Structure formats: C-alpha cells, structure tokens
Structure 1
Amino acid sequence: MEHLLKSEAFRHHCQCYQASFTMIMDNVDDEPALSHILQQFGSNHFFYDCIEPHIRMMREEFFNALVDCLIGSSEELDEDIAEDWDALWSKIESNMRFGLKVQRHNYLAHCLTSNEMELLRAQWYRLAGAGSGIVQLATSIGTAGAEAIFERY
C-alpha cells in the first residue's frame, strides 16, 4: 500500500473520482443538469480510449467493492440502498455511454484525417472478417476475454 501513497497518478485518479461523485450528488435533484454532467464525463472518457464495456465494468466493480468493504459492518447494504445504488449507476452508465458515443461520432466526423480513417476502416474490416460470431464470443468469455480479443486485433 505504501507505493499507492507515493503515486501521484493514483492520487490524482482518486481525487477525480471523488470530485465526480461530489458533482453527481450535488446535482442528483436536478435531472437535466445531472444528465449533462454525466454526458460530459462520458465525452471526456473518449480521450482515455474508453469504450462502453468499460463503463459497465466500472459499475459492476464499484458495486462489488462497496459490498465487499461493507460486509459484516454496521453499514452493510440493505436491499433498499442496493436498489438506490443500482438506480444511480443506471443513470450514470446510460448518460456516460451517450456522451461517449456522441464524442466518438464527433471525432470520427470532424477530427480524423483521411489516412486515419483508412487505417480504422481496414482494422474494422479485419475484425468483421474474423467472423460474425465475434460479439457472441466476447459476451461468452467476459470482459477479460473481450479485452484480449481487442488487443489481438
């Protein structure tokens, strides 16, 4: 754990995560503002090479960590609080995914050079040529397997 205390990158990441949740909770009673903030978060994550499964994984792992940390404590999650977390993460996930998709569309439409587009097109066709079952395969082998496929291609 000592290396975490010395890591500026980790400290920065934690501060960003905490600030994000503060912004979410400060706007939880203003749905249009909350949606806008979450869509901006999704848009910003595009520039960190985030894809939609990452947001789903983040949701699942956050909840798993929360449950693991609170098991056996006086703060253990009851069914109502678990449902509230699920509702909040549903809102977070859907809006971040939307922001990510909009940013990806804007980038592809306005920021790619023709050479980059040709490279992307070639990679897409190579993936598509791997077989129409690639999506089903990725689903069946889970996140780690899907990441391995994406790294390979």
Structure 2
Amino acid sequence: MDLYILRYKQYGREFPKTVNMSPDSFIQLALQLAHFKLHKYLVPTYESASTRRFALARVDNIRACSMPALEWCKAMTGQTKCSTDEKIRLLRKAMEWQTEIMLETILGHGVDNHLLGLRQIALAHGKELPNIFKDPSYMESNRFRLSTSQVSYKLF
C-alpha cells in the first residue's frame, strides 16, 4: 500500500465558520463529493456520534449519504446543469440535512442503534428476522465503505 499525504494550508475549520457553515458538515460533504467524483455514486458512510449523555451509551451513526448530498454532488460534477448560486443553495441544503441528522443522532434519535437493538433481540429470542433486515437496500446501507470521525486538531 502507498500512502500520500496532502497538507492543504489554504484554509481549515475556520473557513466554513466564516460563511456560516458547520466545519463537520463541510468535511462530510467534501468526502461525499470526492467519492462521487471518483466512483460516480455516493457511499454508505459511518460517522461516529457520541451518545455519552445517556447512561451506558457509546456511539451511534450519522449518515452523510443523503438525497440532498446526491443532488449537490450531481450539480458539482455537471450531471445536473445549474448556476453557481444554485450549487451554493444545494450545498447549504445538504449541510442543513447533515446538521439535522447529526443533532437528532447525538440527542438519541438516531436509527442505527435502534434497528441494531431490534435485530439483536430477534436473534436472541430465536425469532425470524423481520423483512427489513433481509432487504438488499438495508443490507447495502450497512456496508460502510467510508468511515469518518470528527478529530479536533489545533493546526486545522
């Protein structure tokens, strides 16, 4: 395996803040766009969300792969023709969605742990898994090809 590191110094987490954007959402969407440009599709993504405010809680998943992200990626790659203003509008819409999902998840309203719990209960009781857990779309949505985590670092 080869490893190449690019240290981009033009801006860091302060830039998104200056244009009223969440740095985390900005990076998550940048990762979605990079993957989309390389592979022509969005990818199920796992971003850890701390649920430590709840007793015995650990993490849940913030899903960055969304319809607003797809619309923005299509606009950015020319699959959908639109103006620069429309691209900015689509970016903001995708960021709002990403931020909303993040807040819901850290407040305990995420779906991943809930569904995992239901699946594990069925298995523990020897029950047949409900159809949702056998559905190809559900199974594909849980094959995370991109795993991210928010890491604060002073240089960024």
TM-score by length of 2: 0.29
Is the helix fraction higher in 1 or 2? 1
